[in-house]
Amino acid sequence: MRSVTKRISSGIYQYGRFQIENWGNRDGAHWVATDNGKLVKDLQGVNLDRPTRREIVRCLDRYFS
């Protein structure tokens, strides 16, 4: 299990070597995983609205396992 090392800023989390970013707009959140700004994975259906660290890791581990 990887861990979220830190919250970089509002809407951006560090997960292993990936940055988990909210590319959403006012219609709603759209979470993606990026590596140095390049899209790695679209996290369709991931709800990270005010999540706990444990919820983030559990959710992301499903996508990256």
Per-residue pLDDT of 7-54, as tens digits, reads 677 778 888 888 888 887 767 778 888 998 899 888 876 666 666 667
Stated pTM of the model: 0.65
Q: Is 33 exposed, middle or buried (0-12, 13-18, 19+ CB in 10 A)?
A: buried
Model confidence at 6: pLDDT above 70? no
Residue 47, domain extent: 4-64
Per-residue pLDDT at 37 = 86
Per-residue confidence band for 5, with pLDDT thresholds at 50, 70 and 90: low
Strands (E), 1-65: 4-9, 12-15, 18-22, 31-35, 38-42
- Number of structural domains, the chain? 1
Per-residue pLDDT at 44 = 74
